[in-house]
Structure 1
């Protein structure tokens, strides 16, 4: 039997899936999920090698889409709407292309169906260099990472993946698998004839470079019924930087 992704469920109404980005988890979306749950049954999912979901050496969009589809089939959800940010947005797009008859609406946050040069392997090396057997506190890990990762907010985000059981520390993220499969994660498995007319909303951050002219062209070629909104005063983590505006845009689109 296929191992199922971990998820949390909130609210009542039509089903709505939320897929987080790289190095994130469903917990990053808890506040927004509570707002969406006023109108929908919200399933906040931990993608493979993240959060409380299983670890696996394979890490690409085909297997991640299959994971989501297995969960959908297990829960018996169709039709459903889906929101995805960054890596989760690429997974959501592939789900829409593979199972377009099951998805009613698609929301993608600050990512396009293209390959990227953005690689985050420089963050993984310092993390893997830490010997968790010698760690006594979260602050100690933060201090160690500060040598290579100067941004305290970024370190705080990464440290959300540090778990503890008794006196033992562990990483919820499978850093090694992600490091080895990063080329697949910055790419997107798109065939020239892949397209769908599913109603789609793409929201990009004004201060982000993830959805440029090349990305906009790819969006319209692949998603013929797509609308693109640019959120002012927001970067790549637009849902965290402008949560109220993001929620308003999504709820207006989902209806």
Structure 2
């Protein structure tokens, strides 16, 4: 199976600094479209579908290090020797791991609302809702929404998930993400394997003030791996800070970007 990830790229022919965008669990490269559009006039922006997501290959087991190796192969294929990485949630974990494994390839790092620590399970309702959707008998997206709502109360969360629902050429309904594989690998997705490596480059952690994903108790772990890390809190934002407060998110990224890749 190919290790190359599906990606879109704005301007590979121009000698611009490269920014790589990595989305979160159950998403795809369009999740970070707002920051992509904001940066693409000055940067070569490469948006990636993570393994088991979007149009990237499905794998038997999802691991952070496996995703890092897929990203490495993809950047090599795209002739990207050095880039800024920006990752949200699971994408942030992969970005951090990539920077620790391949520091010479990372100009700087932006991590949106996630820490380099293990997390307790928090997607049980989402997985139950997704499994509750009867793809074989589904007649409409509205029906899928109704079935999701039996486990997921938040309309915004349901609409986010429904973006990955599509019909095949044969007219069958399917999820673009690998639900079975991601459920099987959820323990590894939530985990964080300790390592002695550090990334000494520029790192900015961006936290949504209303989110509990990044906490003061995570400072020790952040400092251990990223000794030069700084943090910024976006007021009025939760875990989906880039979607909830796009102007604030875009502004803080743009302000801190190092254009000297």
TM-score (norm 2): 0.93
SS at match of 1:107: strand
Deviation of 1:89 after TM superposition, in Å, equals 0.2
Q: Out of 40, 46, 63, which is 1:43 matched to?
A: 46
Q: 1:182 is matched with which residue?
A: 186
SS at match of 1:49: coil
In structure 1, the gaps of 5 or more residues are none
Q: Distance in 2 between matches of 1:220 and 1:139?
A: 46
Q: Out of 205, 208, 214, which is 1:205 matched to?
A: 208
Q: Distance in 1 between matches of 2:28 and 2:7?
A: 10
Can you list the C-alpha shifts for 1:18-62, whole angstroms capped at 9, x where unaligned?
000011111111122011111110001000111111111211101
Q: 2:176 is matched with which residue?
A: 172
Alignment length, in residue pairs?
254
Please identify runs of 4+ aligned residues in structure 1 that moved more than 4 A.
none
Q: Tell me how large the CA RMSD over aligned residues is.
A: 1.3
Q: Distance in 2 between matches of 1:203 and 1:30?
A: 18
TM-score (norm 1): 0.96
In structure 2, the gaps of 5 or more residues are none
For the 8 Å contact 2:87–2:94, the answer to whether it is kept is yes
Q: Distance in 2 between matches of 1:134 and 1:150?
A: 22
Alignment of 1:247 onto 2:232:
no
Q: Distance in 2 between matches of 1:231 and 1:118?
A: 25
Can you list the C-alpha shifts for 1:209-231, whole angstroms capped at 9, x where unaligned?
11112212211121011111111
SS at match of 2:103: coil
